[in-house]
Amino acid sequence: MTYVRRTSTISANSPSTKFHHPNPFLDDHGHMLTQAQKDALKQLTFEHLSLQRLFTLQQQPQTITQLDDAELVEFLTIANSFYRDGQPLISDHDYDHIALAELKTRQPSHPFLHTVEPEPKFTGKTVELPARMLSTEKAYTDKELSDWLKRIHKAANEIGRDPAGLQFRITPKLDGFAAFDDGDRLYTRGDGRRGTDITRAFERGLVVANNQPRGLGAGEIVVQRSYFAANLAQDYENPRNFQASVVKEKALEPAVEQALGNQAVVFYPFSTLPYRVRRSDDLIDSVAALSRELRASLDYDMDGIVIEITDDELKTYMGATRHHHRWQIAYKQNQEKAEVKVLQVVPQTSRSGRVNPVAEVEPTRLSGALIQRATAHHYGMVRDKGIGPDAVIELTRSGEVIPKIIDVVKAVEPQIPASCPSCDTELFWDSDYLYCPNNTGCPAQISHTIEHFFRTLGNIDGFGPATIEKLYTNNIRTIDAVYGLQADQLEGMGFGPKQSENLVNELQRSRHEVIEDWRFLAAFGVFRMGGGNCERLLGHHRLEEIFELSEEQIVAIEGFAERTAEVVVKGFARIRPLFDKLQALGFNLQRTPLVSELQASGALNPIAGKLLVFTGTMTHGSRDDMKAEAKKLGAKVGASVTGKTDYLVTGDKVGASKLNAATSKGVEILTEEQYLKLIGTTISSAKEQS
Ligand SMILES: NC(=O)c1ccc[n+]([C@@H]2O[C@H](COP(=O)([O-])OP(=O)(O)OC[C@H]3O[C@@H](n4cnc5c(N)ncnc54)[C@H](O)[C@@H]3O)[C@@H](O)[C@H]2O)c1
Ligand SMILES: [Zn+2]
């Protein structure tokens, strides 16, 4: 694997760790970690995953299945700790259906799956809970629900109950912070058996929902949905994020204090929740409607419904696993699409000057996450489909944190900016895209370029959007100027003494730590030159040669088209002055090995990248084995000879037509023996090995 592994705690350099976070920023790469998440990450120790890797997993949750076992468990642990802290990294849907499901398939008895997922540690006395507070078993489909029902029926029969007579109590599954109120103290769920004293929440003004008395046992701390949407949605990413802060030991933030004062945050005992009762025979058919009904009757966020049997004797008989009560299940429907109303379309100028539309929408819950904004592909879509205030759009969430607009249900007058939101310069259209032409003076373009640089280097902390914005207002607007900063200068700009020192140390570290030259080049953000293309290019030409390269030389490299070569040559010319200045600062660059060198040294097999066709009966192994081996060495294997074939490898009893085709197309023909020699093995040594 090629990503950087960090084996120790990510260097602590966090400026004031703010618990709640304002709207997350979406950078050019669509990276969505918020500052608070990044700060929290710094507290964690990674053994298997890197920060970059987490970024990728967050952006492409489907790649979670490619992690190895240890990485997967580490990822689950990290995701869980973020979730409990009110800042989910990925959606519940992806957590359950991709990450957890993967572990279930691979290691059904892994301890992670069979205990209550741990909550963050709070200060406070730990006590034995009067009753166990477990997780719930989950059903996402009617089939899963009916399987559960069968188990209930079986148990009922075992103790002589008539399954048809059983009653099921259905309550909303509150999406809050679980707690237990014994009338005197309030405790967290902890590990399900022992919780931590968080009575301070009541002392801070938490009330029991609907003026109910204290001491009603298990429940959740929740915030009113309407209050959240009206007063908190701008500052808190989701209600979980807000709710968790009510019980934290640190001083309350003003918004939390205010919400408590307004009695908008409550402890809701489960025993006082609105409920419905159904019998076995009409349970499954009615769950969807009940779910909607209960949602409408409750001004708190819910995450499905909880179904449990009411027969106490049967409950006792069925008991619990270490993870859940067998007599209870949560039913969650997958809601992957939603229709929402647009509040406004906000323009965001990117590093390249392209202005991207972000639709702010009425807060809507979609597969476990609160959605407040969505991205349109480009302003052409906004223009052609009529997206603006009051438009109704259809959203889908396919793993990304910010969902995409898939369709417009109700079109309106499109909301399109005339000038750049950052520098006010008049925008221009280039087919479907809007651009700010002010490349050298637009604050957004300049700041994002600097952010991109540091983020791509990946070996420097502390230079996030907030820092860069502050530097910008203090006239530090180029990367070389940032590298020239001294601690006292930073202090003069309003950075704290400790932070100033840290920032200067980080700048030094980023120059002294070894970094791959392709990563360094990618940091300059030349159009079409992301990490992959930089590495490919530097596999053929040295970093110091790139400014002399012609379009022809670039096109000659596999993977570069003519149009790309043209913009790349221009792009290199543009960055050259900055490049020279930064290189003079002495970064510790590690060269990308040249393909030619690798081939000469034998590190790269001569057939790597070549297209081979095998024909005839082989003696070295079966033809399939040989094909597999060739692929392992980096070759591609074709079925028939074409003009692109590099070698035709021939065994015994070869048909004349293949040989003729090879000859007429100028394809080199190798006997099996010649081939084995080429790849550095002989028939006998190959046989010994196998
Ligand atoms: N997005 C992420 O990264 C992430 C990470 C970890 C967990 N999760 C989510 O958390 C869930 C598992 O967490 P869990 O084990 O804490 O909770 P759970 O979903 O299994 O629910 C159990 C809890 O539900 C609460 N509850 C709410 N309403 C209730 C009611 N009416 N009756 C009874 N109990 C009720 C109780 O406090 C109980 O402790 C998963 O569904 C998963 O999607 C998400
Ligand atoms: Zn601009």
Would you say the CB of residue 209 lies under 6 angstroms from ligand 1?
no
Specify whether the backbone of 461 is left (phi greater than 0), alpha (psi in -120 to 50) or beta: beta
Where are the domains positioned within the chain?
Answer: 35-114, 126-331, 337-435, 515-586, 611-689
Ligand 1: centre distance to CA 135 (Å): 6
Residue nearest to atom 6 of ligand 1 (CA): 80
Residue closest by Cα to atom 44 of ligand 1: 92
- Does residue 87 have its Cβ closer than 6 Å to ligand 1? no
Taking each helix axis from N to C end, the angle separating 51-59 and 69-84, rounded to the nearest 10 degrees, works out to 80
> Count of CB atoms within 10 A of residue 553's CB?
17
Residue nearest to atom 36 of ligand 1 (CA): 178
Q: In the numeric block, which tokens belong to residue 274? A: 């609105």
Q: Say what angle helices 465-473 and 443-457 make with each other, to 10 degrees.
A: 130
SS3 (DSSP) at 318: helix
Q: Which of 173, 248, 627, 658 is catalytic?
A: 173
**Three-state DSSP class for residue 611:** strand
Token pair, residue 86, equals: 């009110």
CATH C-level class of 126-331: alpha beta
pLDDT digits (tens, 9 = 90+) for 410-446: 999 999 999 999 999 999 998 889 999 998 899 999 9
**DSSP per residue over 254-314, as a string?**
HHHHHHHHTT-EEEEEGGGS--EEEEHHHHHHHHHHHHHHHHHT-SB-EEEEEEEE--HHH
DSSP structural state of residue 163? G
What are the beta bridge partners of residue 365?
A: 370
The one-letter code for the residue type at 412 is V
Q: Taking 70 as the threshold, does the pLDDT of residue 228 lie above it?
A: yes
| E strand or H helix at 256 | helix 254-261
Residue 609 CB burial class (10 angstroms; 0-12, 13-18, ≥19): middle
**Residue 36 banded pLDDT, cuts 50, 70, 90:** low
pLDDT exceeds cutoff 70 at 254: yes
For ligand 1, say whether the CB of 79 is within 6 Å of any of its atoms.
yes
339 is in an annotated binding site: no
* CATH superfamily of this structure's domain 515-586: 5' to 3' exonuclease, C-terminal subdomain (1.10.150.20)
The answer to whether 97 is a known ligand-binding residue is: no
ipTM confidence score: 0.93
CATH class as words, domain 337-435: mainly beta
- Rounded Cα distance, 324 and 133, in Å: 9
pLDDT digits (tens, 9 = 90+) for 306-336: 999 999 999 999 998 888 999 999 998 765 6
The SS3 of residue 180 is strand
> Does 534 show up as a binding residue in the annotation?
no
Q: How many residues does the chain have?
A: 690
Rounded to the nearest 5 degrees, what angle is found at the Cα of 81, between the Cα atoms of 77 and 82?
120
CA 256 to ligand 1 centroid distance, Å: 23
Q: Ligand 1, residue 332: give the atom nearest the CA.
A: 41
Distance of CA 293 to the CA centre of its chain: 33
pLDDT of residue 280: 92
Q: Outline where DSSP puts E strands in 320-387.
A: 324-331, 337-349, 354-366, 369-375
The closest ligand to the CA of 175 turns out to be 1
For the domain covering 611-689, report its CATH number. 3.40.50.10190
**Nearest by Cα to 94 from 80, 84, 81, 107:** 80
Q: Is 632 a catalytic residue?
A: no
What number is the average pLDDT over the span 87-115? 85
What is the mean predicted confidence (pLDDT) over 534-548? Answer: 92
Whose Cα sits closest to atom 10 in ligand 1?
92
Q: Of the bound ligands, which one is closest to the alpha carbon of residue 89?
A: 1
Provide the token pair at 3.
């990503």
Beta strands in 175-285 (DSSP E): 177-181, 186-188, 194-196, 207-208, 217-223, 265-269, 276-279
41 — pLDDT class (breaks 50, 70, 90): low
255 vs 238: CA distance, rounded Å:
14
pLDDT of residue 33: 58
Instruction: Say what the pLDDT of residue 643 is.
Output: 79
